Amino acid sequence: MAKAFASQGDMTEKKITFDQIGDGLYAFTAEGDPNSGVIIGDDSVMIVEAQATPRLAGKVIECVRSVTDKPISHVVLTHYHAVRVLGASAYGADQIIMGDQARAMVVERGQEDWDSEFQRFPRLFEGHESIPGLTYPTTTFSDDMTVYLGNRRVDLMHLGRAHTAGDIVIHVPDQNVMFTGDIVEDHSACYCGDGHFSDWGDTLDNIASFDVDAIAPGRGGALIGKDAVERAIESTRDFVYSTYAPAAKVAARGGSLKEAWDAVRAECDPKFADYAIYEHCLPFNVARAYDEARGIDTPRIWTAQRDLEMWEALQG
């Protein structure tokens, strides 16, 4: 039987966890599905990452309502990917915030990304009929901005390219807790198809410099305590390097994409094969690593057609 493309065969509902990672701070996680974060201020709530559909956003809202009845005033999106942003309408927030670069990527490739991700991961798009369209922010910023939820300060920062060119992180200083989006993962493969391998390590260093007490990562469990934070940062670093280095060696000698695929599998399978969405991410990761090693700085736009052509080439 032919192997299912990406996560087309993954139709199993995941167990949701809702962990407190600081006073008034929560991580919504689901066994390797995209995470969301919750920041409760004096009078209102900020959501970090909207989920893929209003239906999935409803599960986040249910968890929020289990701990507070304060209105949701802000939705912050760490980057442009469809599985992170298309559920934003469900929250009824006055403010939807992205970095400038993330908004530019919605304009440039948002629809193509939606079409591509819909094909890759059908379970996450159940209820897609309720998505009103692409999610655009009401507010953007360049390097950093601060939002006050009453007296609670929330710092939004672009610390460097990694998972995408437009990644931002969210830091809550009074608890020294960070929401990193997909820059940091825990026991989950990093999706690198739109990534910047050469910058990712420096961006992880910038995150590590905050010496935070907890992180809500992009995927995987909540990271509570400095030991857990350090472990996840370093395992993310290892994953990114172990993906890029073999592909770069193949590209340097003029080898093919299929040869890069074989080389990356040889390096990564023994270490990461049990990570969530590992098989899903691998073909996109290899293709992007191979491109970057050949000097293509801006990731090429993934389309539903390009996805399948790449998959057929790797399988052949």
- What are the pLDDT digits (tens) for 234-279? 999 999 999 999 999 999 999 999 999 999 999 999 999 999 999 9
SS3 call for 102: helix
List C-alpha distances in Å: 298 to 130, 187, 193.
32, 27, 11
Q: How far apart are CA 286 and CA 193, in angstroms?
A: 8
Instruction: At 53, give phi and psi (nearest 5°).
Output: -145, 160
Q: Judging by beta carbons within 10 Å of its beta carbon (0-12, 13-18, 19+), is residue 125 exposed, middle or buried? A: buried
Label the pairing between strands 45-48 and 72-76: parallel
Return the pLDDT at 308.
Answer: 86
User: HSE-up of 234 (CA within 13 Å, CB side)?
Assistant: 6
**What pLDDT score does 1 carry?**
34
Q: What is the pLDDT of residue 94?
A: 97
pLDDT score of 36: 98
Alpha helix stretches (DSSP H) within the chain: 54-65, 82-85, 100-120, 197-208, 226-252, 257-272, 278-293, 304-315
In the chain, which residues have pLDDT < 70?
Answer: 1-11, 316
